[in-house]
Structure 1
Amino acid sequence: MSLWRKALAEGLGTGLLVTVVVGSGIAAASLSPGDVGLQLLENSFATALGLAVLILMLGPVSGAHFNPVVSVVDWWLGQRSGTGLPGRDLAAYLPAQIAGGIAGAILANLMYGEAAISWSTHHRSAGHLYIGETVATAGLILLIFALAWSGRAHLAPLAVGAYIGSAYWFTSSTSFANPAVTIARAFSDTFAGIAPSSVPLFIVFQAFGAILGAALVVVLYPNAGQAADDVVTPHTDTTKAGAST
């Protein structure tokens, strides 16, 4: 699969994921005014289902990372065994994910009659939220690589969707767990938004969570790097006959 197609799939997937998150948040706030718990339920349910569908749809092209920390950990763990995301692919995935995410937030805003860009005023700056982001991201990394190592990467759409849906509820931060999505959600002053001033520390603790998750992967699954080709889900590469990348 050519690099531009994989980068396009990553940008499109991340963008549509943000559209699902932001769009369902706007719809939830409109349909269930005054009931934050119900709004979160509607938002998390739509996100879990949407993420599973996007992995199924675009995973065969790029692996369906849709997340910079997943791409970086995949590249890093694969280095020792000659597998995983190549450096040139990583360099293409990261900007595609961020740009796609921002475009997805703008699309959601426009679909609901909002300004294309409305900077969020929802401040999320507290120690317990940073702990939540660390836990959410570490768990996501551990899940993805455990599935790949154990030969169950084909279950990623269901498992990753279920994890993110549940993490909306068991983490204090509602589980952003994704730097590209975090940046994008600053572009929408709606239910799912995050104030731009809160973004940097969220990303710092997501990175810390990714490091913690990668460390747990190395300890629990010492040869997990050999399965890095199947992260998040198995995908083909016509430059390697019969192999996954």
Structure 2
Amino acid sequence: MFIDEFQNSRMPQYDFSVTGFYQEACESPTCPHFITGSAMTILAMELVGTGALYGRFEFERIEAMTPYFATQLTHKAKKYYQADISNIMAPFIAERCGGNPFYINAVVKRSAKIRKPIHDMDALNEVLAVDITSGFIWGELHDQVNRWIHRLNNFNITKWILYLSALDENNDLKKDIIDVHKIQQALKDYEGVDIEIEQIQDILLKLSRGDLLESHMGRFTRIKDPIL
């Protein structure tokens, strides 16, 4: 039995959880159960790491492919979809996609579909722009991100906080560290609302539980996902 997006079995905006009812089923001696999801932190720490399902599952995070295998996948996808992609661009596609096989396949498939050769970085950026805004990647991330915005719609500013957290405005070595004070000021400028730092940190913490950000002892950083 495989169940995907299992983190949706507990929705924070509803005072109800079905995970407890799942205990008897997953203890079946004849039917192994595998659960997957895009929010590994919630799966590991809140659903199978405590409560009725504690001790019933082992868990493992699916990491990005190594640069070598991500490049090899790019070559194989290029051959499969008959895309016009130069060999020298394969490592760049793998890097820009963060080693994510879904992204790599989506970019190569989009290149073939719109008949846009990828022979340089400008062409790669163009294909990425198309797919991120209207293609396969957009369809997946739109659902994932909007689901979390819906779950955490505090003061109707969650989408702003997520957007401002993703901005890459400088080349400083600490550029991936999210500055909550900058977010607070931007919310005043754009939305005309004065949100307490603690409230912003609380929303950032909840976003990190959905693996849209990373939390490190009260400090927040951007997730290592260039597409997201």
User: Structure 2 length as normaliser, TM-score?
Assistant: 0.28
When you count strand as a share of all residues, which structure comes out higher? 2
User: Structure 1 length as normaliser, TM-score?
Assistant: 0.26
Larger radius of gyration: 2
